[in-house]
Amino acid sequence: MTTDKLDATTPPRPRWTSRIDMPVATAFGCILVLLLIGSLYSPNFLSPEYLLQQLKVGAFLGVIATGMMLVILLGQIDLSVPWAVTLGAMMASAATAYGPMGEIFAIPFGVLCGVLMGLVNGIGVAYLRIPSMIITLAVNAVAQGLMVAYTGGFAPQDSASPAMRYLAAGSVLGVPNAVIVWAITGVVAVFLLGRTTFGRAIYGIGNKEAAAYLSGIPTQRVVMIAFALCGGLAAFGGVLLAGYAGKAAQSMGDAYLLPAIAAVVLGGTSILGGRGNYLGTIAGVILITLLQSILSVMQIAEFGRQIIYGAVIIVMLLLYGREKSGR
Amino acid sequence: MLLALAIFIIMFALYLANHPAGFTPNVVQTAANKGVLLALVAMAQTFVVLTAGIDLSVGMIFILANCLASYLLVGTPVTVALGVGGVLLTGLACGALNGLLVIYGRLQPIVITIATGAVFFGIALWIRPYPGSADGFSAELADALTGKVFGVFPASLLFLIALVLLVWLPFRRSVIGRAVYAVGSSEPAAYMSGVPVMRAKFVAYVLSGLFAAMGGLFMTFFTYSGEASLANGNTYTLSSIAAVVLGGVSLFGGRGSAVGAIFGALAFRAIGDLLFVFDFDPLWQPLFQGVVLLLAVSLGSARLFQVRNRLDLFT
């Protein structure tokens, strides 16, 4: 089953990834440094079990960051991820209350809710031309309001279905299922971005939307679909998280906004859109996961983690996330 | 801005008409105090938005100032004054950090302010792990600024008006103020015409930090305590953007004013309070405010109907 993982890290290479770009190399370099620091702290750090465990924890972020990457490649941003994650988790859990049929449809239902939420974002950005930052913040607020009113008013079922638990916490031949899910997501993303017209359109729009439009790309539809995918993937991440924790909880998605954006940007994807590849996002996700893990292994209090975490991200962005100078 | 003013007047009139106590100085005082809190944060957001940036750390600077003030406002008037100075300086420093990272780090404001927001929140959590206030918290200044002048007029509102007259209007007329607008309209054009682009951006971020800290200070005046609440910080960041949008400040930069943002903030607050007087379940309040926000930002899309050439959509 490790072949799936390999496929995700070594995609069928189109020419634009044939030379290693600097940000991705730097990101992998930072991973090595983190591993080194970790191994100085505890010898268990480099054991296969521990590393596999890290990949499993990182898989949730990996799925969420995949969606975020699609949107960032467009030169947009999705700030509705926190409540898309929570929405997916809660809706999938709530569906399990409706008997066996509910359990079967729990995962698709959770993801569908995320897709719908993403669709609202997408329509706002693509057709109403509202800045993505704003519409996604607003949709985030609405989703939060809906969930607060829903959970407060009706107290739904909040435990995950067996299928969700299996998908998130089970393992096949020693490889955690969550890692396999992330690998499959990654392979699909690499294929989508590198080998389909949809993927080329995303890069085109990220570079210059007007030019993409003039070359016959249905830019508005592509943008809308990308946002819908992002919402769906965030919700799927939430479904997995609910399966991992065994239940859905409010504000469980709050911890994923900065990591998702940071993972994508640290992976060398330009925040202005149009540049970046999935290999970088994988590096970014592992980087963030290791960082969080080291901070918790060192038993630093919550406030210290927030400070160090923010500071490290700023420093790494300064290292290689900068825009070109020159006006 | 006129829209925000109209919404505010209608909502506030509705609010007063349905409030059990009616139009009394006490009701106005409470409403003003809550409104001023958001208005200050909205003003903070305005400065940055005018440069076509965005500051997602205003809520966290607000929380940091709130926590810091709950320790520093103790003892004699002199030490309290020093405390106020310290809080404001901290806000300035936070804004300066954002500004430096955006200008010299050449990083996108949206990403960098999320990251600095995490740092600011971490510091707030460090100095105030549990909600509360220091022994000997001096309430005189707090009472003076949240009370009523001559028993009628809310002092906090006077403070806000003073800020507009003493800070915003001179800023608006100064070279640096005009530079902020110019940078927001078109940074390359501003640069080419010799506008001090970097200084304008820096001043905008610093003032943003300062006003957010003033908001946090008022929060302490209001509650006598500090609390490092992540949810509160996020709410204030979100509400500040909503207020700015409602108040007619263009998110693309270069258009709008802090006065508009103030009315936007007051209107947003009045909308939230309406639910309260109509006796809705408080659980519905976040949803209601979210929907209002969504409608407010969708209003901006009215521009679409003026587009003649589809290519104009992309510029």
pLDDT band at A8 (very low <50, low <70, confident <90, very high): very low
Please report residues of B whose CB lies closer than 8 A to that of A271: 108, 110-111
Query: What is the pLDDT averaged over residues A171-189?
Result: 87
Which has more confidence, A138 or B95? B95
pLDDT at B39 over 90: yes
Please give the C-alpha separations between residue A287 and each of A167, A213, A269, A321, in angstroms, as whole numbers. 24, 36, 15, 15
The pLDDT value given to residue A1: 40
CB atoms within 10 A of CB A224: 21
The pLDDT value given to residue B114: 87
Residues 6 or more apart whose Cβ sits within 8 Å of residue B106: A322, A323, A324, A325
Phi, psi of B225 (to 5 degrees): -150, 170
Pick from B241, B252, B303: which is nearest to A137 by CB? B241
- DSSP of B47-83: HHHHTT---TTHHHHHHHHHHHHHHHSBSSHHHHHHH
pLDDT band at A59 (very low <50, low <70, confident <90, very high): very high
Phi, psi of B75 (to 5 degrees): 80, -145
The pLDDT value given to residue A5: 44
Minimal Cα distance from B129: which residue of A? A303
Q: Which of A159-163, B137-141, B262-266 has the highest mean pLDDT?
A: B262-266
- DSSP of A210-242: HHHHHTT--HHHHHHHHHHHHHHHHHHHHHHHH
Query: pLDDT of A252-310, one tens digit each?
Result: 888 888 889 888 988 888 888 888 889 889 999 998 898 888 888 778 888 888 898 88
Q: Do A303 and B129 touch (CB under 8 A)?
A: yes
pLDDT band at A32 (very low <50, low <70, confident <90, very high): confident
Spatial contact of B299 and B288, defined as CB atoms under 8 Å apart: no
Please report residues of B whose CB lies closer than 8 A to that of A144: 286-287, 290
Pick from A164, A181, A155: nearest CA to A56: A181
Nearest CA-CA distance, residue B91 and chain A, Å? 17
CA B280 to chain centroid? 27
Q: Do A310 and B115 touch (CB under 8 A)?
A: yes
Which has more confidence, B179 or B34? B179
Number of domains chain A is built from: 1
Query: Encoding tokens for residue B86?
Result: 């310290």
Does A96 map to a domain? Answer: yes
Q: How far apart are the first and last CA of chain A?
A: 49
The pLDDT value given to residue A118: 94
Query: Encoding tokens for residue A323?
Result: 């825009």
Please report residues of B whose CB lies closer than 8 A to that of A214: 311
Total residues found in chain A within this entry: 327
pLDDT band at B310 (very low <50, low <70, confident <90, very high): low
Please, what sign has the CA dihedral across residues A111, A139, B119, B133?
negative
Cα angle: A8, vertex A9, A11; to 5 degrees = 70
How many Å apart are CA B59 and CA B260, to the nearest integer?
20
Does A138 map to a domain? Answer: yes
Please report residues of B whose CB lies closer than 8 A to that of A254: 230, 234
Query: pLDDT of B230-260, one tens digit each?
Result: 878 888 888 888 888 888 888 887 888 888 8
The pLDDT value given to residue B306: 67
Please report residues of B whose CB lies closer than 8 A to that of A313: 115, 118
Please report residues of B whose CB lies closer than 8 A to that of A209: 314
Diameter over CA atoms, chain A: 61
Residues 6 or more apart whose Cβ sits within 8 Å of residue B53: B102, B109, B201, B204, B205, B253
Residue B46: which H helix or E strand, with range?
A: helix B25-50
Pick from A145, A261, A304: which is nearest to B114 by CB? A261
Query: What is the pLDDT averaged over residues A59-77?
Result: 92
Does A280 map to a domain? Answer: no
Query: What is the pLDDT averaged over residues B35-47?
Result: 92
pLDDT band at A65 (very low <50, low <70, confident <90, very high): very high
Pick from A138, A210, A311: which is nearest to B119 by CB? A311
A175-176 and B153-154 beta bridge pairing: unpaired
Q: Do A148 and B234 touch (CB under 8 A)?
A: no
Query: What is the pLDDT averaged over residues A17-39?
Result: 77
pTM: 0.83
pLDDT at B210 over 50: yes
Does A200 map to a domain? Answer: yes
- State whether residue B132 is helix, strand or coil: strand
Does A162 map to a domain? Answer: yes
Q: Do B119 and A251 touch (CB under 8 A)?
A: no
Among the ranges given (A51-55, A291-295, B160-164, B296-300), the one the predictor scored with the smallest mean pLDDT: B296-300
Q: Do A322 and B105 touch (CB under 8 A)?
A: yes
How many Å apart are CA B134 and CA A70, to the nearest integer?
48
Q: Which long-range contacts (CB under 8 A, 24 or more apart) does B86-92 make?
A: B87/B213, B87/B216, B87/B217, B88/B210, B88/B213, B88/B214, B88/B217, B90/B64, B90/B65, B90/B213, B91/B61, B91/B64, B91/B65, B91/B209, B91/B210, B91/B211, B91/B212, B91/B213, B91/B214, B91/B216, B92/B206, B92/B209, B92/B210, B92/B213
Query: What is the pLDDT averaged over residues B61-70?
Result: 92
pLDDT at B86 over 70: yes
Nearest CA-CA distance, residue B81 and chain A, Å? 28
pLDDT band at B1 (very low <50, low <70, confident <90, very high): low
Does A314 map to a domain? Answer: no
Q: Do B283 and A148 touch (CB under 8 A)?
A: yes
Query: pLDDT of A169-178, one tens digit each?
Result: 777 777 888 8
Does A136 map to a domain? Answer: yes
Query: What is the pLDDT averaged over residues A204-230?
Result: 90
Nearest CA-CA distance, residue B163 and chain A, Å? 28
How many Å apart are CA B110 and CA B102, to the nearest integer?
9
Which has more confidence, B64 or A176? B64
Pick from B60, B66, B29: nearest CA to B220: B66
Q: How many Cβ pairs closer than 8 A exist between chain A and B?
A: 158
Query: A196-215: b or e for each residue (b if 16 or more CB lie within 10 Å)?
Result: eebbbbbbbbbbebeebbee
CA A249 to chain centroid? 19
Q: Do A134 and B101 touch (CB under 8 A)?
A: no
pLDDT at B184 over 70: yes
Query: What is the pLDDT averaged over residues B100-116?
Result: 88
Say what percent of chain B tops pLDDT 70.
90
Diameter over CA atoms, chain B: 66
User: What ipTM was estimated for this complex?
Assistant: 0.80
pLDDT at A138 over 90: no
pLDDT at A6 over 50: no
Nearest CA-CA distance, residue B239 and chain A, Å? 10
Residues 6 or more apart whose Cβ sits within 8 Å of residue B195: B179, B182, B183
Query: Encoding tokens for residue A227?
Result: 């946002």
Average pLDDT, chain A: 83
CA A313 to chain centroid? 17
Q: Do B123 and A257 touch (CB under 8 A)?
A: no
Q: Do B238 and A141 touch (CB under 8 A)?
A: yes
Query: What is the pLDDT averaged over residues B266-289?
Result: 76
CA torsion B196→B202→B204→B206, rounded to 10°? -150
pLDDT at A24 over 70: yes
- DSSP of B89-130: HHHHHHHHHHHHHHHTS---HHHHHHHHHHHHHHHHHHH-SS
Does A168 map to a domain? Answer: yes
Please compute, for residue B308, the number of CA atoms within 13 A of its CA located in the half-sphere on the CB side: 0
Pick from B54, B112, B283: which is nearest to A317 by CB? B112
Please report residues of A whose CB lies closer than 8 A to that of B241: 134, 137
- DSSP of A162-223: HHHHHHHH-EETTEEHHHHHHHHHHHHHHHHHHHSHHHHHHHHHHH-HHHHHHTT--HHHHH
Q: Do A317 and B125 touch (CB under 8 A)?
A: no
Say what percent of chain A tops pLDDT 90.
24
Which has more confidence, A114 or B9? A114
- DSSP of B211-249: HHHHHHHHHHHHHSSB---HHHHHHHHHHHHHHHHHTT-
Pick from A145, A309, A327: which is nearest to B287 by CB? A145
How many Å apart are CA A118 and CA A280, to the nearest integer?
24
Domain residues for A127?
A: 56-253
Scanning chain A, the segments in alpha helix (DSSP H) are: 2-9, 22-41, 48-73, 81-95, 99-126, 132-154, 162-169, 177-195, 197-207, 209-214, 219-245, 257-266, 278-297, 302-320
